[in-house]
Every structure is written in structure tokens, then in C-alpha cells.
Amino acid sequence: MRSFGMRLLVPEHHRKAISEYIDNHDMRGLVEYSLVTAASAHQPLPRPDTLAGKLTVDTDHPSGLWLTAQLARRFDHACVETVRDLEQHRVAVTVRGTVKLPGSHYRKDDRPELTSPSSYILGANTAAKCAALETEATQLAEAKKKAVANAEDLDDRYQKLDAILDAASQLVTYADWTLLDYRASARACGHLKKRIDAIKADNVDLQQLEKQRDTAKEEWKSAVGASSGIRDKITEHRDRRDALAGTREQEQRKPHTINDDAQRSYLDAAYSSIGVDAAPETMQAISAAFRKELEQRKSAAESDRRLAHQKVKTAIGRFVEDWPDAAPDTSGDVDRCGADFAALHDEIAQRRLPDAMTRFQQMISEDMVPSVGVLQRAIENAATKIQGRVAMVNEGLR
């Protein structure tokens, strides 16, 4: 039944596709298939004592009825106990697998791949087959373990035999048995060892030399370790030298000469504020910190310049508003007339106009007659206005 059980069941509506595919391709083996046609629901049941009657078919499957009819027609073999019972039937099969076919044809196939439970292909319940596969896997693992052990044993025997053959090949070169007297060699070796020990015990100079030898050996080991450390330091210094040479070459491409003392003092003050010690390894850090410090100073100076510019602009505006006739320029543009207003401020400070007004007031109050009191008050008011305006100019130009 195995060959029938290995057949591919093809429904009628898949007939063309399956048949063309199998015919047009190399299937690399034996392929058998049967077309499943419509079967009547009223199929004759096989006799229970036949091979087909021993099988249970799932009739709920789309091919169940067709398969039931095929089994009843193809496998109506009578199931008997012994080969003697075969003679009573046209086709029959024994419990041990001997099959009687028409024409006095008998057949029995005991190949392991057919008789082993692990090779069974029929049956909805696969528990027995799974158990058989697990048992077979265990047996194969045990067989593998024994095969590996036997292989290792054979390898050990081969190694020993190879050593024996090697020793035998060396013995061929000896022509005299006295040369093979290893006991005599062992005795001679032991005698020489005793003599060496006796010489060492009696000879003080030899003992001293051995101590010196041991000391020298330890010093040599220490020197080897120190040499390795020195070699590493030399490599480290060589790398540092190459790095410093690269830094020096990079720095030489930039200008370094500053002839202005004020500029040098400014740069010295900026360098003192970065707080990085000067060393060849810190050149990059110094460059970055120095650049950052100069940027900060530049930003601060720019802020101060903008603030001073705004103050001067405010002072010029107020001066032009109060004394337009005395202003050197009435445009209010600091960049164009700032220098003129600065010169005017210097002139006012040089002539000391506030001090002159104070002395003039003192003269009027002490030397002139009271009739000029009205004039004095007018002068005081004028002096107050002048002092206020001068103070405003000074505040704006600071």
C-alpha cells in the first residue's frame, strides 16, 4: 500500500495545471498522481476481514468518498494469520507482510525504510510515528557516540603503532647491540651527576661563581625589563617630538612680530587673564582660550563704543536744541560732527568759563552798589544756566 499512499491526489479542476507542470519539469524522482473524480455517496463497504476494511477513512474530506471506493476496489486482500491460509484466497496478506497476488505471485518487502514505524505514511494520528522517530533519533545518537569512541580508540592505536614504527626505523641505523645499552648510559649519567654535586659542595669558588651567575641572571632580567620601558619612553618621546615639530611648523606660518608697545601691553594683559600655563602641549588650548578672550574683549569694547556713541549723540542733540547758534554743526550726526563738539568742549574747559562767572558774581556782590541788584540776579540766573549746560556737555563727552 505504500506506493498507493505516496500518490498525489489531484482534484478535477486542478488537473490541467498539475499535469502540465509535472510534464514540463524535471521532478528529480518518481511522481505518481491520481485524478479525484466525483464518487457516489452510496459506495459498497469493504468486508471487515480485508485489508481495506482495516483502514479508517475520513469521509468528511473532499476526497474521502473517492478514496473509500479506491481502497475497496484495489485492496480487497483477505487478512490471514499464516502463509498456509493464503491458499484459500485469490488475493491475501499475512500478518508478517507476505502478499499473495493473482497468478500465484507472492511478494514480501522487508526493507527498513518500509517496515520501520518511523517510515509510516498513513494514519491521521501521528503519535506512534513521532515516538518511533524519537526512538530512532536516540539510537542514532548512541551509534554516533560509539562510532566516535571507536574512532578515537583507533586513532590512539594508530599513534602508538606509528611511534613503534618510528623507533624501529631509528634502530635500523645501529649496527652494534652495545650502542643500544641504555642502562649503561643511565649509569654513566647518574655517576656524572654525583661527581658534579660533589665538586659543587667542595669547591667554594664554584659556589661563589654560581651565586654571581644567579645574581647576574637576575640583573640581566631587570635590565631587559628596563630596556623595554626605555624603548617605550623613546617611542613616546619620538611621537611627542613629531607632534611638536608639526605644531612649530604650523605656528611659523603665522605672523608673530608686534612693534607697538601699547598693542603688546594689551595682548599681555589678555594672555594673563586666560589662566593657561604655557607649554608645547598646551598650544592649542592657549590659542583657543586666547582667541576666546580677545573675542570677549572685542564684544565689550563694541558695547562701550555703542554706549558712548549714544551718550554723545544725546548731548549733541541737547546742545543743538538749546544753543543752535553756538553749535558747530546742527545735523546731529555724531560721526560727522563729533570731533567738532569735542573741540568745543576742550575750548570751554580751557577758558574756564564756569570759574570766570563765579568770580564775576563775587565782584558784583562786593564792589558794586545795591542798585545793580537786578543785574546781579540776572547774571546769577545766566551763570546757573551756563554751568548746567557745561555740565551737560561734560557728561555727554565723557
Distances (CA, A) of 307 to 63, 303, 314, 397: 102, 6, 11, 11
8 Å CB contact between 55 and 122: yes
Can you give the pLDDT at residue 182? 63
What the block records as the C-alpha cell of 159 is 599513534
Amino acid code (one letter) for 3: S
- Name the β-bridge partners of 33: 8
Pairing outcome for strands 92-94 and 78-80 = parallel
Residues 218-232 pLDDT 10s: 888 888 888 888 888
Alpha helices in the chain (DSSP H): 2-5, 15-24, 64-74, 112-115, 127-171, 182-202, 204-252, 261-272, 283-322, 334-351, 353-367, 373-397
Below-70 pLDDT ranges, the chain: 40-42, 113-115, 117-118, 122-125, 171-172, 174-185, 200-207, 254-258, 280, 348-398
Residues 97-117 pLDDT 10s: 899 998 889 999 888 766 676
To the nearest 10°, report the CA torsion of 32, 35, 41, 46. -30
Can you give the pLDDT at residue 370? 45
Can you give the pLDDT at residue 355? 56
Q: Using CA atoms, how far apart are residues 272 and 288, in angstroms rounded to an integer?
A: 14
8 Å CB contact between 312 and 327: no
Q: At what angle do helices 373-397 and 353-367 cross, to 10 degrees?
A: 160
The 78-80 sheet, strands edge to edge? 78-80, 92-94, 99-101, 105-107
- DSSP state, 328? S
Q: Using CA atoms, how far apart are residues 186 and 204, in angstroms rounded to an integer?
A: 29
Can you give the pLDDT at residue 372? 42
- DSSP state, 43? P
What the block records as the C-alpha cell of 204 is 667554594
Convert 73-97 to b/e letters by CB count within 10 Å (16 or more is b). Answer: eebbbbbbeeeeebeebebbbbeee
Can you give the pLDDT at residue 179? 61
Can you give the pLDDT at residue 292? 84
Distances (CA, A) of 314 to 306, 344, 364: 12, 16, 36
Can you give the pLDDT at residue 371? 40
Q: Using CA atoms, how far apart are residues 319 and 325, in angstroms rounded to an integer?
A: 10
Q: Write the CB contacts of 338 (distance below 8 Å, at least 6 apart in sequence).
A: 312, 316
Can you give the pLDDT at residue 374? 46
Can you give the pLDDT at residue 368? 43
